[in-house]
């Protein structure tokens, strides 16, 4: 259980809980004009040619609704579980978003280049402002788990629930095509566009068109809306989610580029969420307006009658979903470790088999280097670090020990002699931002060849001069396998210069198939150990111990 001590109170109940949405004016105006144009076109059409006629049985069903009827049990179950999972995905997604409350269409994430932000703050330029400083508060009524900087637990929910969402979705789509039900959802006639427009003209001018009985078939606009929700929003949400994975993007940089880059994928991920929400609002409104009781019997009972039971069970279902949010809240605060281990039991073995096998091989050009790079973490305050920093780290000795044949203490000059390499890569922070930089240093492999780990060494621990968010020295671990992967560097240079103090001088780790928090900055010493379980609370790092982050964040 999380103790609500003073440090946690400051993080969970910050004094500044202001919330403001700022949208780039050009985007706001553009979206406004597009919507107004559609509405205006409908009014003009009605004024000039009159209201289009809508046949009681849409012509998209050529044989008078001869197709599949009703809602079989599997449709009704999928409908409920999808609602259940999507709501938890949205709630946890909002908590994740608030940890870096800015969305961009460029991968550099320079403050001011966002198209929308959910914070009243402009990034101050006269002092260090870390990405963690920038995190915002979200009420636990809206987000799971809510509060401020609870991204570890929010991600656990997001990733546990996404399994349910994907299983439901794949099952639903497979069943659609295994039966004739797909005919209700998938537009097959170009007529659907004409009829959907005609239906829109009715709605937009505040007329209810003659509604077909949804038990037998949908109106054309409804068909398109359902099709888009399933096959566009659902599919895009999953594909753009994957495009945020460091392991995927660093192995296949083209994949993120399909969506316009990693940040654009993140923005699209957010927009699909807005799409789901907009769909939900319109869907529910029309269900209420077009014969609530009958509609509820359709989707809850699979019956086309006027009984009250469907409506009552429907309300009970909605109540259950809301209860699940309260249960999630309880689990988040009283059993976070259980949640962390639950997710890990599924994803850790799965990632070892899949994402973690991808060897990073990203290559960016010099002119793709980000002009701005968000800093993160607390600068060390230890006197010994300050002293060696004042002497340009000449007196610094990196101690490498533990389960090795040959423990060493190396100066930066000694390290350099092991053979420095450089690469330009994209950094992925768990909070959501990214940045491209050129990192120079020695491959971890060179160090490993030098110190020769003993056979029982399976993990490498990196200890920092700096403190972690909730106090105590920052550390993290890597499997021996992962530090031997290409592009894993002990970096002492950034963008062609000595590593600046804020970015981790004298040394920091670069491990490109994982998220930023695994890349310890201000490294003091390195130890080869049998297992990450031997350190701290045994979860693999300071963030894993205290904030329930994943041991292996390939995504
Ligand atoms: N010692 C230490 N290292 C750390 C952190 C920290 O808080 N302390 N934060 C991590 C996180 S969350 C990220 S995203 C990267 C940020 O690196 P940057 O400052 O170069 O952007 O450093 C990582 N290394
Ligand atoms: Mo991070």
Which ligand lies nearest the alpha carbon of 462?
1
Q: Can you give the residue range of the structural domain that contains 524?
A: 362-546
State the Cα–Cα distance between residues 344 and 329, nearest whole angstrom: 19
Taking CA atoms, 140 is separated from 132, 145, 154, 329, in Å, by: 19, 6, 11, 8
- Output the average pLDDT for the chain: 95
Q: What is the distance in A from the centroid of ligand 1 to the CA of 194?
A: 54
296 lines ligand 1 (CB under 6 A): no
Whether residue 388 sits in one domain with residue 272: no
Whether residue 319 sits in one domain with residue 404: no
Q: What is the distance in A from the centroid of ligand 2 to the CA of 434?
A: 9
With tokens 């550099």, the residue in question is 108
Could you give the strand order of the β-sheet that contains 116-117, starting from the edge strand earlier in sequence? 22-23, 116-117, 102-103
Q: In this predicted structure, what is the pLDDT of residue 63?
A: 58
Whether residue 114 sits in one domain with residue 36: yes
Place 226 in a pLDDT band, splitting at 50, 70 and 90. very high
Task: Show which of 322, 355, 388 is a domain's final residue.
Answer: 355
499 located within any domain: yes
Q: What is the distance in A from the centroid of ligand 1 to the CA of 509?
A: 10
Task: Show which of 307, 329, 355 is a domain's final residue.
Answer: 355
What value does the mean pLDDT take over residues 25-36?
97
Whether residue 224 sits in one domain with residue 163: yes
| 123-169 per-position pLDDT tens digit | 999 999 999 999 999 999 999 999 999 999 999 999 999 999 999 99
Q: Candidates 516, 536, 546, 553: which one to mutate for ligand 1, based on the most atoms within 8 Å of Cβ?
A: 516
129 located within any domain: no
528 located within any domain: yes
Whether residue 372 sits in one domain with residue 345: no
Residue 460: both structure tokens together: 């490498």
What value does the mean pLDDT take over residues 483-497?
96
Which ligand lies nearest the alpha carbon of 99?
2
Which among 115, 119, 86, 113 has a CA at the least distance from the CA of 100?
119
Whether residue 384 sits in one domain with residue 239: no
Whether residue 458 sits in one domain with residue 339: no
Enter the DSSP assignment of 273.
H
Counting the structural domains of the chain, the total is 2
Whether residue 384 sits in one domain with residue 286: no
Q: In this predicted structure, what is the pLDDT of residue 4?
A: 65
| 297-342 per-position pLDDT tens digit | 999 999 999 999 999 999 999 999 999 999 999 999 999 999 999 9
Q: In this predicted structure, what is the pLDDT of residue 341?
A: 98
Whether residue 479 sits in one domain with residue 351: no
Enter the DSSP assignment of 147.
E
Handedness of CA 509, 510, 515, 516 (dihedral sign): positive
- For residue 530, the domain's CATH number is 3.90.420.10
Q: For the whole model, what pTM was predicted?
A: 0.96
Q: In this predicted structure, what is the pLDDT of residue 10?
A: 75
514 lines ligand 1 (CB under 6 A): no
- What's the burial of 441, exposed, middle or buried (CB within 10 Å: 0-12/13-18/19+)? buried
* Sequence-ordered strand ranges (E) for 380-534: 398-402, 408-410, 421-428, 434-443, 459-467, 473-479, 489-494, 497-498, 508-510, 523-529
Task: Kindly state the percentage of the chain with pLDDT values over 70.
Answer: 98
| 210-225 per-position pLDDT tens digit | 888 899 889 999 999 9
Q: In this predicted structure, what is the pLDDT of residue 303?
A: 94
State the Cα–Cα distance between residues 153 and 158, nearest whole angstrom: 9
Whether residue 324 sits in one domain with residue 447: no
pLDDT at 62 over 70: no
pLDDT at 391 over 70: yes
Whether residue 437 sits in one domain with residue 322: no
Whether residue 186 sits in one domain with residue 104: yes
Q: In this predicted structure, what is the pLDDT of residue 204?
A: 97
What value does the mean pLDDT take over residues 490-507?
97
What value does the mean pLDDT take over residues 446-465?
98
Task: Show which of 300, 322, 355 is a domain's final residue.
Answer: 355
| 84-123 per-position pLDDT tens digit | 999 999 999 999 999 999 999 999 999 999 999 999 999 9
Q: In this predicted structure, what is the pLDDT of residue 68?
A: 81
What value does the mean pLDDT take over residues 164-186?
96
323 located within any domain: yes
Place 64 in a pLDDT band, splitting at 50, 70 and 90. low
174 located within any domain: yes
66 located within any domain: no
553 located within any domain: no
What value does the mean pLDDT take over residues 174-186?
94
pLDDT at 33 over 90: yes
Which among 216, 212, 203 has a CA at the least distance from the CA of 282?
203
Q: Give the Cβ contact number of residue 3 at 10 Å.
A: 6
| 332-355 per-position pLDDT tens digit | 999 999 999 999 999 999 999 999
**Strand 398-402 versus strand 523-529 pairing type:** parallel
130 located within any domain: no
pLDDT at 376 over 70: yes
């Amino acid at each position: 259980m999380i103790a609500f001590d003073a440090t946690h109170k400051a993080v969970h109940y910050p004094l500044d809980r202001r919330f403001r949405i700022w949208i780039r004016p050009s985007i706001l105006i553009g979206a406004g004009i597009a919507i107004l144009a559609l509405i205006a076109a409908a009014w003009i059409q009605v004024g000039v040619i009159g209201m289009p006629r809508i046949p009681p049985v849409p012509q998209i069903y050529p044989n008078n609704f001869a197709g599949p009827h009703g809602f079989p049990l599997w449709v009704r179950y999928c409908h409920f579980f999808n609602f259940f999972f999507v709501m938890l995905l949205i709630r946890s997604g909002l908590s994740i978003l608030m940890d870096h409350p800015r969305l961009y269409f460029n991968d550099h994430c320079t403050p001011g280049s966002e198209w929308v932000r959910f914070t009243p703050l402009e990034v101050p330029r006269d002092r260090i402002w870390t990405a963690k400083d920038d995190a915002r508060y979200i009420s636990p009524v809206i987000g799971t788990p809510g509060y401020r900087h609870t991204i570890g637990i929010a991600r656990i929910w997001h990733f546990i629930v996404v399994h349910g969402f994907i299983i439901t979705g794949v099952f639903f789509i497979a069943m659609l095509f295994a039966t004739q039900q797909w005919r209700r959802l998938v537009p097959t006639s170009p007529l659907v566009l004409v009829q959907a427009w005609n239906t829109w003209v009715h709605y937009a001018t505040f007329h209810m068109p003659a509604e077909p009985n949804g038990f037998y078939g949908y109106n054309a606009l409804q068909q398109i809306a359902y099709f888009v929700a399933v096959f566009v929003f659902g599919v895009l949400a999953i594909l753009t989610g994957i495009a945020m994975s460091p392991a995927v993007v660093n192995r296949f940089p083209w994949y993120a580029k399909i969506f316009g880059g990693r940040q654009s994928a993140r923005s699209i991920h957010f927009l699909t969420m807005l799409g789901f929400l907009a769909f939900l609002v319109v869907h529910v409104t029309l269900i209420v307006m077009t014969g609530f009781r009958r509609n509820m019997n359709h989707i809850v009972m699979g019956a086309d009658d006027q009984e009250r039971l469907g409506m009552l069970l429907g309300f009970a279902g909605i109540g259950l979903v809301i209860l699940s949010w309260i249960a999630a809240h309880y689990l988040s605060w009283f059993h976070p470790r259980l949640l962390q281990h639950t997710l890990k039991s599924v994803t850790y073995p799965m990632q070892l088999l899949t994402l973690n096998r991808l060897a990073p091989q990203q290559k960016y050009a010099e002119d793709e280097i980000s002009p701005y790079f968000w800093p993160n973490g607390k600068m060390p305050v230890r006197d010994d670090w300050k002293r060696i920093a004042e002497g340009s780290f000449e007196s610094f000795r990196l101690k490498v020990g533990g389960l090795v044949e040959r423990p060493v203490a190396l100066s930066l000059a000694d390290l350099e002699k092991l053979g420095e390499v450089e690469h330009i890569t994209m950094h992925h922070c768990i909070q959501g931002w990214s940045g491209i930089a050129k990192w120079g240093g020695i491959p971890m492999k060179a160090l490993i060849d030098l110190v020769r780990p003993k056979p029982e060494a399976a993990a490498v621990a990196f200890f920092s001069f700096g403190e972690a968010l909730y106090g105590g020295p920052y550390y993290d671990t890597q499997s021996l396998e992962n530090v031997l992967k290409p592009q894993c560097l002990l970096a002492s240079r950034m963008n062609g210069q000595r590593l600046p103090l804020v970015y981790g001088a004298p040394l920091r780790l670069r491990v490109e198939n994982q998220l930023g928090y695994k890349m310890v900055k201000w490294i003091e010493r390195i130890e080869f150990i049998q297992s990450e379980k031997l350190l701290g609370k045994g979860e693999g790092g300071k963030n894993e111990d205290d904030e329930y982050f994943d041991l292996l964040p390939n995504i």
